[in-house]
Amino acid sequence: MKSKADAESHPVIQKHKLPLNVVYCTRCVISNQRPRIEFDAEGVCNACRFAEMKKNAIDWNVREKELLKLLDEHRSKDGSWDVIVPASGGKDSTFTAHQLKHKYGMHPLSVTWAPHIYTEVGWRNLQNFIHKGGIDNILGTPNGKVHRELTRLAFEHLGDPFQPFIYGQKAFPMQIAAKYKIPLIMYGEDGEVEYGGDKKAIGRCGHDASGDLLNHYFSGIGPLYWTKHGIRAEDLHPYLPPTQEEAQKVGLKIRFLGYYKKWVPQENYYYAVENAGFCANPDGRSEGTYSKYASLDDRTDGFHYYLAFIKFGIGRATSDAAHEIRDGHIDREEAVRLVHRYDGEFPMKHYQEFLEYTGLTEKRFHEVIDSYRPPHLWEKTDKGWKLKHQVS
């Protein structure tokens, strides 16, 4: 048996400062292993507290007035683009771009950073967003050779193959904003406050170009880190946000629509179906969860959620069930049942494709996965790996 000191030295525990005693929120199903989340004296997570504020403490009329003021400052008079909406064509970005255009009279340019490998439904939704939703779009697709290499490196060294996508998803809309001199970038929700994270983010309408990209989105490791692993700096250009100087010249500001309008993913789904022909997952649900309408466009994203399950003991069903409790769609008992049934389901559907994409052998793939299991969360039994704690 490993000593406590050994356990504490595991890289995942060190890096994310994971508490060794696992505690679950008394209201939702999230645990204290989610990076940056905090629990109060009553054992309630800050995402649940924020959900409470959304219902009781925030005056949404006042917030909408703030939105109108912001948009009035930026709305173009000649119909030229006046707001950048980072968009995948999913339900949330469809809601954001479509509302800005049709309800608030803005002229959005949506900017898409391509998934690693498009799913059919993801591609169809982007096309519906453009053609049925009536939104202008720029699609950025990175150099596939570099992107594959980065994906493999990020899988091996960070335990998250999705990191190169996240770099571009953040940096590319900012680059386009700087290039076209459009200062305002409007995202959907602020994940840090909606799903639990850095409490400093509560009450913020957005941030400037520097934000806290490095810690909140890049796991503390920026794109240029990968030059240490043989990626050429010039090939990393698409992954880098504009320099401070470039951003200041344009006056870049990043805002979250979820600050100004009450954010309910399920309602965004109905809105996107009605206004842009959005399609849910044709398979009925996504692997690792019971939900059918979130994160549909990338064949590799099941591995992002699976690795989160390995590193933190909480997977895709936990995240989905937690926010559905907060939105009042399901109760905790049902959520627990859904987590037990679906959390950590292996993303079998695109497994072979993921191996081909990254060039990993099956053996190496499992070596990497197992290296990310923190000893306070996992134990090896004769039947294989088993989680030591589960929500109940």
106 burial (CB, 10 Å; 0-12 / 13-18 / 19+) is buried
User: Which residues are CB-neighbours of 293 under 8 A, at least 6 positions away?
Assistant: 91, 265, 269, 278, 280, 281
Nearer to Zn ion, 84 or 322 (CB): 322
Q: Nearest distance from residue 336's CB to Zn ion, in Å?
A: 13
Question: Tokens in use for 204?
Answer: 């913020």
CA distance 111 to 139: 6
Per DSSP, the three-state class of 132 is coil
Per DSSP, the three-state class of 152 is helix
Q: Nearest distance from residue 48's CB to Zn ion, in Å?
A: 3
Q: Is 252 in the site for Zn ion (CB under 5 A)?
A: no
Nearer to Zn ion, 48 or 184 (CB): 48
Nearer to Zn ion, 45 or 109 (CB): 45
Site string for Zn ion, 17-46 (x = CB under 5 A): --------x-xx----------------x-
Nearer to Zn ion, 27 or 255 (CB): 27
Q: Nearest distance from residue 52's CB to Zn ion, in Å?
A: 10
Q: Nearest distance from residue 30's CB to Zn ion, in Å?
A: 5
Per DSSP, the three-state class of 85 is strand
Question: Tokens in use for 108?
Answer: 């959005």
CA distance 366 to 351: 12
Question: For the residues of 305-330, what is the DSSP string, one character each?
Answer: HHHHHHHHS--HHHHHHHHHHHTTSS
Q: Nearest distance from residue 193's CB to Zn ion, in Å?
A: 13
Q: Is 299 in the site for Zn ion (CB under 5 A)?
A: no
Nearer to Zn ion, 312 or 372 (CB): 312
Nearer to Zn ion, 46 or 275 (CB): 46
Q: Is 150 in the site for Zn ion (CB under 5 A)?
A: no
Query: Of 46-105, which residues contact Zn ion (CB under 5 A)?
Result: 48
Binding site for Zn ion (CB under 5 A): 25, 27-28, 45, 48
